[in-house]
Amino acid sequence: MTNMNLPWVESPFFKEILAEKQLSEEQKRIATEYNENGFIVLSGIIPQTLIDEVQKDSEKMGFDKDFPITTYRDANRVQDLWTVSENAKQLACYPQVLEILEMLYGREVIPFQTLNFKVGTQQKAHSDTIHFSSLPAKYMCGVWVALEDITPENGAVYYYPKSQRLPEYDFSSIKDGVNDSSYNDYSEYEVFIESLMKQYDIEKKCFYAKKGDILIWSSNIIHGGSPLLNKESTRWSQVTHYYFKDCIYYTPMLSNMVTNELFLRNNLVNIRTNEPVKQSFNGEEVKFIKTSKDKYIINNRIRKSNTLFKFVGNLVYKHFTKKDFR
């Protein structure tokens, strides 16, 4: 039996599944490299004209403070430029890229977020799974596109090959209590991941891309941004994050992973269709029970949300005798 609740390209049965698939030699090469290393690099797919237009829109729309934009923007990044830039949307939905992603994951791909960068992030090592996770697991990936040549001077993306095979770490792995976590705790996670890479002695690789090159990475590969050696340099780039159909989408960073109360991504929009993304588990409808302002548990046995109190009450009663309540 080779069926698992994982993308086939992440499966321990990868070789058996690959042998059964009707793929071209190039597709087999891409899938094998992705399975082994957790990333692939592709060149010559995106037209240079589109690359140039996205860079221009990033500069004239995204990073022009006088241009009206309702999504997040700071001096380094702009979130969801695709909402005002047709070029950024085209790049996020470029057909050949989507075709490769659907080949790798075996499901319909859902582009849901773009990030456009003017300079290198210098971000510490992390896995995207702390921000974007799914049930079934690992149905998420990132695609980074260089909008100019990348050198040691302008802060290249770095990654740790094969690190996607490590467990998906979150705050339940490193914090002692059961309290909710938040972005205020993120530095603890970063320190942990940096220490982990030293412990496993995984070699860091830098991606010195040429303009137009594409880096596709698995949800759990550890990556970050190198220091800027030239503080005046730019590092124009676009990242698109993708989920895949028929999953539950959530953010471990803002979830309580000890109590399994999830911060659901209920407001996802499919960039391709501009339609809301429906949550399900392998296509099966699931019921979410709200436990706090922004967290939910999954339980298909509870028919109504107000029965949660009875559900919890029964659990409490089972753990205490009548004498305990006197």
Which residue type occupies 283? G
Nearest Cα neighbor of 137 from 22, 40, 4 is 4
Query: What is the overall mean pLDDT for the chain?
Result: 92
pLDDT value at residue 55: 98
| Tens-digit pLDDT profile for residues 207-224 | 999 999 999 999 999 999
| Terminal-to-terminal C-alpha distance of the chain | 54
Mean pLDDT score, 311-320: 52
Q: Rounded CA gap, 222 and 237, in Å? A: 19
Q: Rounded CA gap, 263 and 276, in Å? A: 17
Q: How does residue 310 score in pLDDT terms, banded at 50, 70 and 90?
A: low
Is residue 7 scored above 50 in pLDDT?
yes
pLDDT value at residue 228: 87
Instruction: State the DSSP code for 226.
Output: P
Nearest Cα neighbor of 193 from 184, 177, 204 is 204
Q: How does residue 304 score in pLDDT terms, banded at 50, 70 and 90?
A: low
Is residue 196 scored above 50 in pLDDT?
yes
Residue 214 burial (C-beta neighbours within 10 Å; 0-12, 13-18, 19+): buried
Q: Rounded CA gap, 86 and 1, in Å? A: 45
Q: Rounded CA gap, 1 and 10, in Å? A: 16
Is residue 325 scored above 70 in pLDDT?
no
Domain boundary assignment for the chain: 22-286
191-203 CB burial, b ≥16 within 10 A, e <16: ebbeebbeeeebe
Is residue 312 scored above 70 in pLDDT?
no
Mean pLDDT score, 123-148: 96
Is residue 178 scored above 80 in pLDDT?
yes
pLDDT value at residue 313: 52
| Tens-digit pLDDT profile for residues 234-290 | 999 999 999 999 999 999 999 999 999 999 999 999 999 999 999 999 999 999 999
Contact 35, 9 (CB under 8 A): yes
Interaxial angle between packed helices 95-105 and 25-37, expressed in degrees from 0 to 180 and rounded to the nearest 10: 70
Could you identify the residue written with the tokens 């471990």? 252
Q: Rounded CA gap, 53 and 101, in Å? A: 24
How do strand 275-276 and strand 269-270 relate by DSSP bridges?
antiparallel
Match domain 22-286 to its CATH number in 2.30.30.40, 3.40.50.1110, 2.60.120.620, 1.10.10.10: 2.60.120.620
- The helix (run of H) or strand (run of E) holding residue 115 is strand 109-117
Positions of E strands within 188-305? 205-207, 214-218, 223-225, 237-244, 248-250, 269-270, 275-276, 288-290, 296-298
139-149 CB burial, b ≥16 within 10 A, e <16: bbbbbbbbbbe
Long-range contacts, 19-23 (Cβ 8 Å, 24+) = 23/103
Is residue 43 scored above 80 in pLDDT?
yes
What are the residue ranges of helices labelled H in the chain?
Answer: 14-20, 25-37, 48-57, 86-92, 95-105, 186-200, 308-318
Structure tokens of 122? 């210098």
| Tens-digit pLDDT profile for residues 82-125 | 999 999 999 999 999 999 999 999 999 999 999 999 999 899 99
Mean pLDDT score, 158-175: 94
